[in-house]
Amino acid sequence: MYFLITAGGTREYIDPVRFISNASSGKMGYALSQAAFDAGDKVTLISASDMQPPVGVDFVGVESAKDMLDAVKKYFKECDCLIMAAAVSDYAPVRCSKTKIKKGHSNLIIKLKPTADILAWSGRNKRKNQIIVGFALEDKSLKTNAEKKVKAKHLDMIVANKSDTIGADKTTVHIKTPGSKWVTVKDQKKSAIAKKIIEMIKKI
């Protein structure tokens, strides 16, 4: 199979030196890339993380949500499976200052706009036999919100977890495909979870 995998938290710049981002390390996306490559598959990793990519994996570095969308669109038609493990920023500044914003004594107001929903775009544009896997990080109503995401974005699999997974080497995830029961992988290294996800994808 040909896997297209995204990883890391995007950066949305306010000025040349400041940006809005999130705490995603990119570890899950990198573990998935390694697991798919170890299984003998072709992998393209689109990453906003500063981590060293796995040897043998095609790497595309990006920064912003727009960069990631453009990269996904470039490779999407050719892949058999897209795994959106990246934590894409939901909002970006309406304007990015061309010069560093100087500190003042009054409040600074930054107007934000929604970023493009890459997962929703992928779900709308997927081929008949193409597999789309999304991630849902929730702090409440985890499974309920994850199931809504599956339906709304036409996903073939969802991996749901809580916010304590960010940056951790071990975590618990809940995996579901439409029409099936939830599968829980409890307190495992991300490398083991990634291997399980790749195995489940291949069964689809």
**CATH (domain of 17):** 3.40.50.10300
Instruction: Kindly name the residue from 22, 107, 125, 129 that is annotated as catalytic.
Output: 22
| Catalytic (active site) residue 129 | no
Total tally of structural domains belonging to the chain: 1
The residue range of the domain holding 125 is: 2-96+111-203
pLDDT in tens, 35-66: 999 999 999 999 999 899 999 999 999 999 99
Centre a 10 Å sphere on the Cβ of residue 175 and count the other Cβ atoms it contains: 21
Helix, strand, or coil (residue 114): strand
Q: Residue 117 and residue 28: Cα distance in Å, rounded? A: 20
pTM of structure? 0.93
Instruction: Give the type of residue at 149.
Output: K
| Mean pLDDT for the chain overall | 94
pLDDT in tens, 70-123: 999 999 999 999 999 999 999 999 999 999 999 999 999 999 999 999 999 999
Domain assignment present for 104: no
Res 167: pLDDT: 67
Domain assignment present for 105: no
